[in-house]
Structure formats: C-alpha cells, structure tokens
Structure 1
Amino acid sequence: MLANTELFIRLLLAAALGSVIGFERERLLWAAGLRTHMLVCVGSSLIMIVSAFGFSDIVNNPHVVLDPSRIAAQVVSGIGFLGAGTILLRGEVVKGLTTAASLWSVAAIGLAVGGGLYTAALSTTVIILVILAGIKPLEERFRAQMAVRTIRLSAEHDKVTLDVVHEAAGLRASRVKQFVLRQRLEDGSDEVLVSFIRLSPQSVEDIAGRLRTIVGVRTVEVIG
C-alpha cells in the first residue's frame, strides 16, 4: 500500500495538472472549465490508486486473482458520458468536441499520476497545452482559408452570367460553390450572389476587382 505522503502527492499533482488544462478551457468560457478538469483528473487518479492498491489486503490470497487495470479501464469508456455533455449543437455547427477530448485526456493523465507515471503525466500535460493553445492560431488560419466567401453584384439585366463569373475567376473558377441571380422588378436590373469555397480573402478581392471592370456592372461587394 502507498504511504500517506505519496498518496497525497499523487492526488495533489493530478489536481494541479488538471487545473493547467482546465484553465485553458476556462478562459474560452466553455462549460467544462477549471473545476471540471480538476475533478476529472483527481477522480481518475484516485480510481487508478484504488485499482492498483485498493485490494492489497486480499491480493496474496491464493484463491484470488485480480487484474489491477480492470477498474481503470472503465474510466476510459465511462468518461465518454461526461464528455458528451460538453458537446453542443448550435444551428448546424457542432461545438465542444475539443473540450470533450481534453476531458478524456485529463482522465488519462489522472490515471498516469495514480499509477505513479509522473514523467508520462507531465509530458502529456505539456503536449496537450501545446495542442490546445499553440496550434489554435494555425487551425483558425486554416479555417479562414476554407471559409465560404460571397460576392454580391448589381448589374444590368443579363450582363453577369455564370460564364462571365468563371471567366473573371480564371483558374479559380472551380471554387465557385453557388451562383444565384435575382431580377429586381423595380428597375429590371439583376442582383447576383456568387459564393466561393477554399479561397483566400485576397483571391476573392481580386475576382471582385475583375467583375467591377465588366460593362453593365454597377456595384460589387464582398460580403463574406
């Protein structure tokens, strides 16, 4: 059985490592923040301690066979229910997957601390922090490149067609996702909405500039 000092150190370290990752989630105002990550990490650490050392009084009985990993294994599957509570559907966008994954990872850190694998727990904490905080700017930059951007045009009737847009886009014509033409009844002009995918803001502005040079085009506006 562990000494009381070692037992306290493991639980305290689990709380500390969980708080480091939880703080990163807390600053983004997610439901599973500082306290949730600390509780998960400490709880899983205690479960690992119980799994490994909680049956030491009967383990030497020749008629008893125990698997120390059996209880800890339930944490890996059981934490999924808690993680599912952090996943939200907002409109057509799923939010909270990263927080759910961080909870699952924190549970693993707690198990490692409970098992005395301090180096593994500390290393994993650092790696997770790099993933959550360090890679986020790169992820946002990539998403910005993949976003749908729309150009709205006002032009004389039949002056802007899909072929005209393709010609203005050039090699980027394959990035046209949607072409919508609406005729204005009051003056007979056309309103055109052209949506592009996987184009940088600079590329969309370049296409908008080419569309402005077309005879009959009155206004060109990038709205997304």
Structure 2
Amino acid sequence: MADPWYIDNVHILLRLLLSVLLGGLVGLERERSNHAAGLRTHILVCMGSTLIIMLSIYGFSEFVHEVNIRIDPARLASAVITGIGFLGAGTILFTGKSITGLTTAASVWVIAAVGLSIGAGFYFASIAATFLILLTLVVFNKLEQRYIRGSKLHLVTVYAISEPQLLESISGLLEGEGITVKKAIVNERSNVAYGELQPPSTTLEISLNVLSKRAFDPLALASRIRKLEGISMVSID
C-alpha cells in the first residue's frame, strides 16, 4: 500500500480476522480459567479496537488534503485505551476479604492495545505481544502459584452449638494445618423450640479471617472441622 491514507478491502478483512484470532487466543485462556471476561469478550474488544483504529487512520482520508483540516490518527486510539478501563473495571470484584479480577482487567486492556496495533498494520508487534500475553497468563501463573505466591487470606465460617473449649479446638486444628487466625467474630444466638420447657440452647456463628502460607484442600479441612463436637456447618472461601 503506497498511499498511507488508503487501505483495500483485502487488508481490512485480514486485519479483522487477525484480531479475532489473537483476541480469541487470549480469551480462550481466560475462558478456561472461568473468568468473567472470556473468549467472546476478548474477541470483541480486540476486533473493536482494530476497527476503530482503521476508522481513525483511513476513514477520514477524503479530508486529508482539505484546507484547515488536520487529521490525527491517534485521537481515537487514545479514547479506546481510556474507555476500555470501564470494561476492565467490571471484571474486578471485591469479595470482602480480597480483590479478584485484576489480571483479567489487565488482559482486556492489553488486548485492546493488540487490536489497535493490528488495525495500524503492526502485525509482528501484535503477534509478539499476544505470545507474551499468553506466556504471562499461563506460564507465569504456574510459576507464581508454585514459587512466588505468598500467604493467602481465606474466610472460614462455622455454625456450632456452644461447647466448652470449642474455640480452642478450632484454633488448635487450624494451627496444626499451618493456618493463622488474623480476625475472629463470634455471634451468639439463643434457640428455644416452640412449646419446649427446656433451657434454650446457644448457637454460635464464628467467622474467621485466616492466613495460609501454603495451599490446602478446603474440603478436607472442612471435614476435619466438622468432626469437632457441636459443629453443624462449615464454609470455607
């Protein structure tokens, strides 16, 4: 293409298809990991960015030689980078104990940059960036989980009938698993069955914010806590 302000239909289709391919590769990894922004989201973001930058560069080519008309191909690109942050923010969740979705938000933002690069004709940069994105999401994630990731915060909720030494038993069990209790909330409730004359029983709702330095099996831990005297329900997040 000798004219920098002109693009033919073949190259338009090529760039759109490449954006679908590269956006789909990153989206597929997010989809397999069961994240909010998955395959279709990444494809649409990448293809939309490609279309917008092509519109910015080539869509107003008829006005290039007009007097007092100044064409700035980067203007719509900067708007895309800013605007895509709102979509990324929708994938970030605050659960009360931790923030999740930051990596997916970053992948949506960077795939928009890949789409802009494709639309501008930077094919090598787009393909190389996609490879590095996948390397970061897949390989680095495994390295982080195995070697780098520090302590992780969990929420343990226990419902139980009030028993002597119950809290001490739970604390000892968690300590034996290498889990540190950072915060504990204990709520008491008195339950009296309708028509019963016997003294009311006291039910405890125990919420524990715990810190674990290594991965553990939530089901196995819940099973061990459940075996303690008076425990009726255990939840681990």
The alignment status of 1:28 with 2:6, answered yes or no, reads: no
List alignment gaps of at least 5 residues for structure 1: 155-175, 181-194, 202-224
**Alignment-mate amino acid for residue 113 of structure 2:** A
Which residue does 1:139 correspond to in 2? 144
**Alignment-mate amino acid for residue 36 of structure 1:** T
Which residue does 2:204 correspond to in 1? none
| Cα distance change, pair 38–95 in 1 and its aligned pair in 2 (3 A) | same
1:82-126, Cα deviation, whole Å (9 max, x unpaired): 001111112311111100000000000000000000000000000
Which of 5, 8, 11 is residue 3 of structure 1 equivalent to?
8
Which residue does 1:85 correspond to in 2? 90
Q: How many correspondences in the alignment?
A: 169
**Structure-1 separation of matches of 2:183 and 2:37:** 41
| Cα distance change, pair 131–64 in 1 and its aligned pair in 2 (3 A) | same
**Structure-2 separation of matches of 1:54 and 1:143:** 47
TM-score by length of 1: 0.67
List alignment gaps of at least 5 residues for structure 2: 1-5, 155-169, 174-179, 185-208, 216-237
TM-score by length of 2: 0.63
Residue correspondence of structure 1 range 121-136 to structure 2 within 5 A:
121-136=126-141
1:114-145, Cα deviation, whole Å (9 max, x unpaired): 00000000000000000000011111124655
The alignment status of 1:19 with 2:24, answered yes or no, reads: yes
1:18-56, Cα deviation, whole Å (9 max, x unpaired): 000000000011111000000000000000001111110
**Structure-1 separation of matches of 2:75 and 2:38:** 29
Question: Kindly, what percent of the aligned residue pairs are identical?
Answer: 44
The alignment status of 1:75 with 2:83, answered yes or no, reads: no
| Cα distance change, pair 198–120 in 1 and its aligned pair in 2 (3 A) | same
**Alignment-mate amino acid for residue 48 of structure 1:** I
- Structure (1/2) with the larger helix percentage: 1
1:176-216, Cα deviation, whole Å (9 max, x unpaired): 88699xxxxxxxxxxxxxx9979669xxxxxxxxxxxxxxx
